[in-house]
Amino acid sequence: MRTSARGKTEAGFTLIELLIVVVIIGIAGAMIGLSAMAAPDRALENDAQRLRDAFRVAQSEARSDGRSIVWHADAQGWWFTRAGRPVDLREASAENAVPWPDDRFERDPILTARKWTEPPVQVRRDPPSPLRFDTEWVRDPYTVELVSPGRTIVIAHTAAGDDGLR
């Protein structure tokens, strides 16, 4: 049984269909807004986790290579350096009598220089001397405090060897 005249078709959307579309768009917009607001809150925590992992890799690399690695940081980012290999005078020749330059780990995916996700970040160390990773298996305790507006995270290495975020 037909409800409309022949040749006429209904055009457009019903009010219910329009309301459903508006509600779906509103929910999607709210989800995008909430995820965008939550991202900066996690930025410093993600940087701290990445840095803690880099500390572990630097310690392992220093043990395997036999040369100390020093961590540097400023308000814009952080990087590692290692002194170049010295010349072994017992095996020196015209080609290898030049010492190697200092290493900045440009090709290392973990130890390469990084920018903070949300700069500026203030960095405080305890003890305040440069953080050095060397061949020792037992490290002195240290803390690195990362401070950005409204957020502080501490990376702590205890005498027992635990690395953790607070």
pLDDT, tens digit, for every residue of 20-49? 988 888 888 888 877 666 555 688 999 999
Domain residue limits at 99: 40-165
Instruction: Answer whether residue 33 is part of any domain.
Output: no
Residue 24 lies in a domain: no
Residues 97-151: tens digit of each pLDDT: 556 677 888 888 999 999 999 889 999 999 888 899 988 877 788 999 999 988 8
d(CA 26, CA 162): 46
Instruction: Check which CATH number belongs to the domain holding 49 and give it.
Output: 3.55.40.10
Provide the domain count of the chain.
1
**CA angle, corner 43, sides to 41 and 44, nearest 5?**
90
Number of neighbours of residue 9 by Cβ within 10 angstroms: 5
- pTM strictly above 0.75: no
Does some domain include residue 149? yes
Of all helices (H) and strands (E), which one includes residue 133?
strand 131-133
